[in-house]
Amino acid sequence: MNKHLVLSEKVKAALAEGRPVVALESTIISHGMPYPENVKTALACERIVREHGAEPATIAVIGGKLCAGLTQEQIEYLGSQGQKVSKASRRDLPVLVARKQDGATTVAATMIIAALAGIRVFATGGVGGVHRGATTSMDISADLEELAHTPVAVVCAGAKAILDLGLTLEYLETRGVPVIGFGTDELPAFYTDKSGFSLDYRMDTPEEVAAAIRAQRDIGFPGGMLITNPIPAEYAMRPEVIDSAIDHALREADKQGIHGKAVTPFLLAEVTELTSGNSLQSNIQLVYNNVALAAKIAAAL
């Protein structure tokens, strides 16, 4: 085992016994939601994983250690500190480890630590992608590169709706990442179940997805897989409402000169405010939906 990796006793036991484990990210705790909803959501996600027969492994960097499986106190700490905790992607891990600092892991960093631990399935809200205007800014999330070469299957509600979804799909195709629609032929758009972009592969059961993941590993492909799971219809937002809020938030980010890793948390906070909190509730429910599916897929593996 990597000397910088620390597994909780429950995660260690589950892996040793061959029981299903689901990785959960921590950026959603520190940077994705306000306190205390972030802590409540994180703990509820762990509970949902257990209810579906798997062991949750919330992942973060704590004191320079790559941790898979956090205590409730550690989750509370990440939530209460919020954006004071570094947002950690692939490039940040070596520095945080060397300096013995804390970091809330993005999709990319969570995938890396999950792979080191031997965890094959990971649930999140939405993955990063190609940002709008990336043809000039070159703002492309490291999540996409990680999916291209790290062997972890990621369950999400599509890429975050603040992104350029068409270019995100094109990038994933170029990098050879299978994108599966769970019960849908169309890429979900995070807050809504449709984006207008068709997917090549639809699967309707966790067992089908597990078989595809197993085949990918058996063939020896180096990368991961993206399983896109639409938000439940009763929690989906009207496209015109969310699109208007996103457009306003993007203009505000441009006006304030916000860029880089600060863009996504800023936009999510702006959209939450512009929708009177409705987008936050949709966000929470889609995460729960993804976590339940990930646990079923992990069990089928």
**Residues recognised as catalytic:** 25, 160
Q: 254: which 2 tokens?
A: 């441009």
CA distance 152 to 157: 16
CB-CB contact of 58 with 26 (8 Å): yes
CB-CB contact of 45 with 291 (8 Å): yes
| Residues in Cβ contact with 133 at an 8 Å cutoff, skipping those fewer than 6 apart | 139, 164
CA distance 298 to 292: 10
CA distance 49 to 298: 10
Give Cα separations from 35 to 43, 79, 138, 231 (angstroms). 13, 6, 32, 23
Listed residue (120, 152, 107, 115) closest to 1, CA to CA? 115
CA distance 140 to 263: 12
Burial class (CB in 10 A: 0-12, 13-18, 19+), 100: exposed
Q: 96: which 2 tokens?
A: 């945080």
Strand partners, 181: 202, 228
CA distance 298 to 123: 10
